[in-house]
């Protein structure tokens, strides 16, 4: 069973569709992680984001379906088929299909926050030995910076087979890091994890939300922004600077934070609590 969650932000509806939730040693992503880091955060970090039993970190892999007026947007397409270093689920496309009004063919825009394999994997899928777009009527948006600067040696990135075929087929739009999709949805530049990494800002009827992408992998990194995902970051210093910059903008503000790798309840607010900053999840 997977957990499906839906939020409303003004007139926009956002639905989390899960591929898998897996548990990793904190050091897999964050080399400086030790269980001591969790001590000041015991009251909110367990049990959703870390396991109290073994201090393993939850890593959720899910897409967000954003319904904004007549426009249906899928943000990140998870792990997909083929050999990858994270688990995947072949049922994920049918789960998406069942969730979206009108199914996969009703998706107008597929937006990848960056080009790592767990964000572009289901862009295409195998049908009878051929790779076909999973979303047959969609434009696929990628940051131009990201496409131009992703290094061949960044082996977490998969230009082939999940990005280049779409560019070659004329189905992709390479956009600016502050690209505006419509009145309610736009990109914000959050580089560091990858060179052209973007997050997604949603604003409707005075309400605000943001989809983080991998500027953070766990809400612990809002409380401890210098705890870097250095094992996966292209530029760990830039990623830290991005976290500090966005924290300054979002802390104690009515901005709903939707974490791209945060396990359920996935959404919350960044708030000051005495000396600490914590991630306060929705009830």
List of residues contacting Zn ion (CB under 5 A) = 118, 214
Nearest CB to Zn ion, comparing residues 68 and 162:
162
Nearest CB to Zn ion, comparing residues 214 and 233:
214
Nearest CB to Zn ion, comparing residues 12 and 263:
263
Per the DSSP assignment, residues forming a β-bridge with 278 are 271
Nearest CB to Zn ion, comparing residues 194 and 204:
194
Q: How far is the CB of 119 from Zn ion (least distance, A)?
A: 6
Q: How far is the CB of 272 from Zn ion (least distance, A)?
A: 28
Q: How far is the CB of 193 from Zn ion (least distance, A)?
A: 8
Cα–Cα distance between 265 and 267 in angstroms, integer? 6
* DSSP secondary structure letters along the chain: ----EEEEETTEEEEEEEEEEEEE-HHHH-TT--GGGGGGGHHHHTTTTB-TTT-PEEEEEEEEEEEETTEEEEE---S-SS--SS---TTHHHHHHHHSTT-GGG--EEE-SS-BHHHHGGGEEEETTEEEESSTTPEEEEEHHHHHH--TT-TTB-HHHHTHHHHHTT-EEEE-TT-B-SSSEEEEE--SSSTT-EEEEEEETTEEEEE-GGG-SSTHHHHSTTS--TTT-SSHHHHHHHHHHHHHHHTTSSEEEE-TTPPTT-EEEEEEETTEEEEEE--
With helix as H, strand as E and coil as C, how does 109-147 read?
EEECCCCEHHHHHHHEEEECCEEEECCCCCEEEEEHHHH
Q: How far is the CB of 214 from Zn ion (least distance, A)?
A: 4
Q: How far is the CB of 229 from Zn ion (least distance, A)?
A: 9
Nearest CB to Zn ion, comparing residues 87 and 136:
87
Q: How far is the CB of 109 from Zn ion (least distance, A)?
A: 20
Nearest CB to Zn ion, comparing residues 23 and 276:
23
Nearest CB to Zn ion, comparing residues 24 and 106:
24
Q: How far is the CB of 19 from Zn ion (least distance, A)?
A: 11
């Amino acid at each position: 069973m997977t957990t499906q969650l839906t939020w409303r932000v003004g007139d926009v509806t956002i639905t989390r569709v899960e591929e898998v939730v897996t548990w990793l040693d904190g050091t897999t992503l964050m080399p400086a992680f030790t269980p001591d880091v969790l001590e000041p955060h015991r009251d909110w970090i367990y049990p959703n984001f870390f396991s109290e039993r073994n201090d393993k970190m939850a890593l959720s892999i899910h897409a967000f379906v954003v319904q904004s007026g007549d426009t249906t947007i899928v943000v990140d397409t998870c792990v997909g088929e083929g050999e990858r270093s994270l688990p995947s689920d072949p049922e994920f496309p049918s789960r998406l299909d069942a969730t979206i009004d009108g199914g996969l063919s009703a998706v107008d825009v597929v937006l990848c926050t960056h080009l790592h394999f767990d964000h572009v994997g289901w862009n295409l899928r195998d049908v009878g030995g051929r790779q076909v777009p999973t979303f047959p009527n969609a434009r696929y948006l990628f940051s131009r910076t990201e496409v131009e600067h992703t290094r061949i040696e960044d082996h977490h990135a998969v230009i082939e087979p999940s990005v280049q075929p779409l560019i070659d087929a004329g189905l992709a739009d390479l956009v600016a890091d502050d690209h505006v999709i419509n009145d309610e949805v736009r990109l914000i530049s959050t580089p560091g994890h990858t060179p052209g990494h973007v997050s997604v800002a949603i604003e409707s009827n005075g309400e605000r939300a943001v989809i983080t992408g991998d500027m953070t992998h766990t809400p612990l990194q809002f409380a401890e922004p210098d705890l870097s995902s250095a094992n996966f970051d292209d530029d760990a210093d830039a990623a830290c600077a991005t976290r500090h910059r966005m924290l300054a903008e979002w802390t104690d503000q009515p901005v709903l934070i939707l974490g791209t790798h945060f396990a359920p309840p996935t959404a919350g607010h960044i708030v000051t609590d005495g000396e600490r900053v914590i991630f306060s999840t929705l009830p």
